[in-house]
Amino acid sequence: MKKLLSLLIPAALVLAACGSGSNEIAATVDSTTEITAGEVEGLMDPGDGATVPKQQFADFLDFQIKWTIIEDAAESDYGITFTEDEIAAEADRVVELNLTEGQSREEFLAVNEVSEAFLHNVALQQLIGADLRVALEAEVESPTQETVDAQMENAVLALTEVCAKHILVETEDEANDVLVRLEEGEMFEDLAMELSTGPTGENGGDLGCEPASGYVPEFTDATLAAEIDVPTEPVQTQFGFHVILVYDRTDPAPEDIPTEEDVIDSLQQTAVDQAFSEWFPAAFAVAVVEVNEKFGTWQTDPVAGVVAPVE
């Protein structure tokens, strides 16, 4: 597992730790919650006698500020809270999932250079995230039947493999001339190399075998309707006029096609993902954060976060 936090910076940016338990105010959130330097240091385990780099302190301060904002917003918006027992159980689960063979909990924390306090907050955020998704799912609108039908159609197209060649020309008259020459016995590949303006012309117009969904709509519709090994009538797309020859087509197996319930669930989860990704920056944007300039500054643009002080 990658370290939960791995920050290596030049020694010139090192800030001597204020000492565990320092009551110096590092930041204030919404004028009500004060975060001390000691609390931030308590999240880290830099090793005996080690100093804390400014950037590392700023990152942990950033985490603590955001954790505070998220916890407060989740409770005020949705009444989401957890007991210490619930958080402790989740912390145990996090450790259990990430321990390497033979590794102890203490070794796990030491390797990641974090403390039990940090693990406590990680567990709390995991719990909040899960309940937040449930709350947001209850708010998102169900997809319309039109959207579901379109999604199901797209799924079928993505699972339908079409093997085709084409000859691309500029005008419909040129495309009709291609059909005449094909009827007279000329080879499709030869005409593609001679006439096609598309990049596959030099390859005899062969597009290979691709999902039907990979083409522009007019081309897709033509490849699905075409008889195998029979050139199509001219098909107009944004690129010009095509004569298409489908030489193989594989329809999806019925069991591979998603059901309407599957599609609805997928669309709803996508909507929840979107709402979830928007909730966090919105919470950060409205929070009033003041950071002790000794430890950095709080910015909201382009993204919310603590910027470490510069010597």
pLDDT computed for residue 238 by the predictor: 97
Whose CA is closest to 69, among 307, 308, 300, 309?
Answer: 300
Strands (DSSP E) contained in the chain are: 14-15, 25-29, 33-36, 52-53, 161-169, 206-211, 235-237, 240-250, 289-291, 297-299, 305-307
Whose CA is closest to 60, among 81, 37, 82, 76?
Answer: 37
CATH architecture of 161-250: Roll (3.10)
Domain boundaries, the chain: 11-141+270-307, 161-250
Kind of pairing between the strands at 14-15 and 52-53: antiparallel
pLDDT beneath 70, residues of the chain:
1-21, 45-50, 311
Cα distance between residue 223 and residue 236, in whole Å: 13
Cα distance between residue 62 and residue 304, in whole Å: 9
Residue 137 gets the label, from left (phi > 0), alpha (psi -120 to 50) or beta, of alpha
User: Which fold does the domain 11-141+270-307 belong to in CATH?
Assistant: Triger factor/SurA peptide-binding fold (1.10.4030)
Cα distance between residue 176 and residue 182, in whole Å: 10
pLDDT computed for residue 46 by the predictor: 55
DSSP single-letter state for residue 1: -
Which tens digits make up the pLDDT trace of 10-23? 222 233 334 345 88
SS3 246: strand
Q: Retrieve residue 81's tokens.
A: 């809270």
pLDDT computed for residue 47 by the predictor: 55
Prediction pTM value: 0.69
